[in-house]
């Protein structure tokens, strides 16, 4: 029997279709790599009962309740020691999750020629603002930094970071630090916190609103150390501590004209 | 055959060289021995069965890190219903506190070098 090219193509086409169809159910049945659900929050039973949850975590800083440099150091050390943040000398290589700066640097849009003298002398606590509209997330090519849909925290996935530092360029608050060197030698071995990992060379890091502490039912380390100078709570809950504080006090946020919608509020 | 005195030895040498990896290892290289691992003295059961953990610990750790970091899920319910915190550093290494004699021994034998420990802290006992 002679075969024409047309016959051959018909049979080849039908065979390919059949093979494709038979492979489909097998692919669908593979449970290991099913696409994960869209992030609508942790599945039930995957969080401890005492975990703190919210739909929009936010922080309020009572700037005038902070009693001088020792108080700042206490807050900063609490955060940096808990998260094994290295102390690297020199401005360029510095790693910081929470730090201080002057009024004019913190609120450049609110700059004025004749600032009240106490504000002129005062320092302000700075940290990642966990923006509602985070530019770092938009530019990250690997989605190593991402915003949790269920509570608005902007978080780093160190396993995915390739160290391109686009996020650092995008962040208008300078809240991100890059590990130019292996950070381990710069952490005091005796102070290493075994509950939290360190980082490796070549990744970006920043404040994570203590997501790991919230899951255990604890407030962020800085809030705990601030002795009432910082509040943390759910911005979507009208009865929360932060909403109450914002209702009763005049507050400002950093660089609001950029449209990033920071979740850190300063009560001046 | 034309030039057989060159071609036949050439083919023989080629065959010897091409199959070298197969017979060399069976004659000159000792077989693979599973290393003796230091198991936790006070625990007789891991989160899942030992066979499952031997075969799947890397998948479990990979899933855990995504679930914890990306989905904010922190607890793992084992097949036997027990609940564990999903944490290499705080759950796994709590029992398997001897990294050199447990993780490293097998990974070294099989020439696998995961970079977990560049960030995650090995248990205190092994630091000094």
pLDDT recorded at residue B33: 79
Q: How far is B34 from chain A (nearest CA, A)?
A: 28
pLDDT recorded at residue A154: 96
Q: Which residues of B touch A45 (CB under 8 A)?
A: 75, 77
| Residue B122 predicted with pLDDT over 90 | no
Q: Which residues of B touch A194 (CB under 8 A)?
A: 89-90, 121, 123-124
Phi and psi based region of residue B95 (left: phi greater than 0; alpha: psi -120 to 50; beta: remaining): alpha
Q: Do B121 and A197 touch (CB under 8 A)?
A: yes
**Mutation for testing the A interface, residue in B63, B71, B87, B124 having most A CBs under 10 Å:** B71
- In 3-state terms chain B splits into helix, strand, coil percentages (rounded to 5) of 55, 5, 40
Q: What angle do CA A186, A212, B88 make, to 5 degrees?
A: 75
| Residue B16 predicted with pLDDT over 90 | yes
Please tell me if residue A148 touches chain B, with a CB cutoff of 8 Å. yes
Q: What is the pLDDT of residues A215-263, one digit of tens each?
A: 999 999 999 999 999 999 999 999 999 999 999 999 999 999 999 999 9
Q: How far is CA A233 from the centre of its chain?
A: 16
**Mutation for testing the A interface, residue in B84, B119, B125 having most A CBs under 10 Å:** B119
Q: Where are the domains of chain A?
A: 57-267
Please tell me if residue A137 touches chain B, with a CB cutoff of 8 Å. no
| A229 beta partners | none
The DSSP symbol for A208 reads: -
Measured between alpha carbons, how far is B6 from B30 in angstroms, rounded to an integer? Answer: 36
Please tell me if residue A150 touches chain B, with a CB cutoff of 8 Å. yes
Alpha helices by DSSP H, A30-164: 69-82, 103-106, 117-121, 135-139
pLDDT recorded at residue A186: 94
pLDDT recorded at residue A40: 73
Higher pLDDT, B38 or A130: A130
Q: How far apart are the two ends of chain B, measured CA to CA in Å? A: 71
Q: Where are the domains of chain B?
A: 50-119
pLDDT recorded at residue A32: 45
Contact A115, A104 (CB under 8 A): yes
Q: How far is A231 from chain B (nearest CA, A)?
A: 22
**CB pairs below 8 Å between A and B: how many?**
62
Residue-averaged pLDDT of chain B: 89
Please tell me if residue B81 touches chain A, with a CB cutoff of 8 Å. no
pLDDT recorded at residue A60: 97
pLDDT in tens, chain A (268 residues): 677 888 889 999 898 888 877 766 555 554 444 443 445 788 888 899 999 999 999 999 999 999 989 999 999 999 999 999 999 998 889 999 999 999 999 999 998 899 999 999 999 999 999 999 999 999 999 999 999 999 999 999 999 999 999 999 999 999 999 999 999 999 988 889 999 999 999 999 999 999 999 999 999 999 999 999 999 999 999 999 999 999 999 999 999 999 999 999 999 9
Please tell me if residue A197 touches chain B, with a CB cutoff of 8 Å. yes
Rounded to 5 degrees, what are φ and ψ at B109? -60, -35
Measured between alpha carbons, how far is A66 from A223 in angstroms, rounded to an integer? Answer: 12
Q: Which residues of A touch B115 (CB under 8 A)?
A: 200
pTM: 0.80
Antiparallel, parallel or unpaired: β A251-252 and A264-267:
antiparallel
Instruction: Look up the ipTM and state it.
Output: 0.77
The CATH code for residues A57-267 is 3.30.70.20
Q: Do A215 and B77 touch (CB under 8 A)?
A: no
Which residue of chain B is at minimal alpha-carbon distance from A182? B118
Tokens linked to B85: 């915190």
pLDDT recorded at residue B28: 84
pLDDT recorded at residue A33: 40
Q: With 0-12 CB in 10 A as exposed, 13-18 as middle and 19+ as buried, what is A77? A: middle
Beta strands in chain A (DSSP E): 57-62, 98-102, 123-127, 145-147, 154-156, 177-178, 204-205, 230-234, 251-252, 264-267
Q: What percent of chain B has pLDDT over 90?
A: 65
Q: Give the closest residue to B98 by CA, choosing from B34, B48, B55, B36.
A: B36
Q: How far is CA B41 from the centre of its chain?
A: 21
Residues 6+ apart with CB under 8 A from A156: A144, A145, A203, A204, A205, A206, A208
Q: Which residues of A touch B123 (CB under 8 A)?
A: 194
Contact B68, A196 (CB under 8 A): no
Q: Do B69 and A42 touch (CB under 8 A)?
A: no
Q: Residue B72 is nearest to which of A148, A158, A192, comparing CB atoms?
A: A148
pLDDT recorded at residue A25: 59
Q: Do A48 and B74 touch (CB under 8 A)?
A: yes
**Mutation for testing the B interface, residue in A32, A34, A39, A42 having most B CBs under 10 Å:** A42
């Amino acid at each position: 029997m002679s075969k024409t090219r047309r016959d051959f193509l018909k049979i080849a086409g039908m065979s390919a279709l059949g093979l494709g169809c038979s492979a489909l159910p097998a692919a669908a049945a593979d449970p290991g790599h099913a696409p994960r659900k869209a992030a609508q929050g942790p599945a039930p039973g995957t969080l401890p009962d005492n975990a703190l949850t919210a739909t929009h975590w936010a922080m309020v800083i009572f700037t005038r309740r902070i009693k001088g440099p020792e108080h700042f150091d206490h807050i900063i050390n609490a955060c940096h020691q808990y998260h094994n943040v290295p102390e690297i000398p020199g401005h360029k290589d510095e790693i910081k999750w929470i730090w201080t700066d002057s009024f004019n640097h913190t609120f450049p849009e609110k700059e004025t020629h004749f600032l009240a003298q106490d504000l002129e002398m005062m320092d302000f606590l700075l940290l990642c603002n966990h923006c509602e509209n985070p530019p770092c997330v938009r530019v990250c090519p690997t989605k190593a930094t991402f915003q949790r849909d269920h509570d608005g925290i902007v978080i780093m996935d160190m396993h995915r970071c390739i160290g391109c530092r686009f996020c650092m360029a995008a962040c208008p608050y300078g809240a991100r630090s890059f590990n130019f060197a292996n950070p381990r030698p710069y952490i005091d071995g005796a102070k290493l916190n075994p509950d939290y990992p360190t980082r490796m060379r070549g990744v970006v890091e920043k404040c994570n609103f203590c997501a790991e502490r919230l899951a255990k039912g604890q407030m962020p380390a800085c809030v705990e150390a601030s002795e009432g100078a910082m509040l943390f709570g759910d911005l979507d809950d009208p009865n929360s501590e932060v909403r109450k504080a914002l209702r009763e006090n005049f507050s400002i946020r950093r660089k609001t004209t950029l449209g990033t919608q920071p979740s850190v509020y300063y009560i001046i | 055959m034309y030039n057989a005195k060159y071609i036949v030895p050439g083919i023989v040498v080629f065959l010897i060289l091409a199959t070298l990896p197969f017979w060399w290892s069976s004659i000159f290289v000792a077989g693979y021995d599973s290393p003796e691992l230091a198991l936790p003295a006070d625990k007789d059961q891991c989160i899942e069965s030992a066979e499952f953990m031997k075969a799947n610990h890397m998948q479990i750790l990979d899933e855990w890190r995504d679930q914890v970091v990306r989905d904010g899920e922190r607890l793992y319910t084992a097949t036997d219903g027990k609940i564990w915190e999903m944490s290499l550093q705080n759950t796994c290494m709590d029992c398997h506190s001897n990294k050199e004699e447990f993780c490293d021994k097998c990974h070294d034998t099989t020439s696998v070098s995961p970079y977990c420990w560049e960030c995650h802290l090995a248990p205190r006992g092994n630091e000094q």
